[in-house]
Amino acid sequence: MGFRNVLVHGYVEINVSMEIITFRETVNALPAILSGLRSVVGNDP
């Protein structure tokens, strides 16, 4: 399936197990991402 199918035709099949794995990877990466952002932004609200 190509990205064109989503953009032009509006359909896609979702692989739930792949979505769960990707979600977990994102959750696990968040602390490092936030730490990197804090080092750049500091305490600026």
The pTM of this model reads 0.54
Distance CA 39, CA 16 (A): 35
Q: What are the tens digits of pLDDT across the range 5-40?
A: 566 666 667 788 888 898 899 999 999 998 998 888
SS3 15: coil
H-assigned helices in 1-45:
3-4, 16-41
> CB-side exposure of 24: number of CA atoms within 13 Å?
6
End-to-end CA, the chain:
42
Give yes or no for residue 45 having a pLDDT over 80.
Answer: no
pLDDT at 28: 95
**For residue 13, what pLDDT is reported?**
74
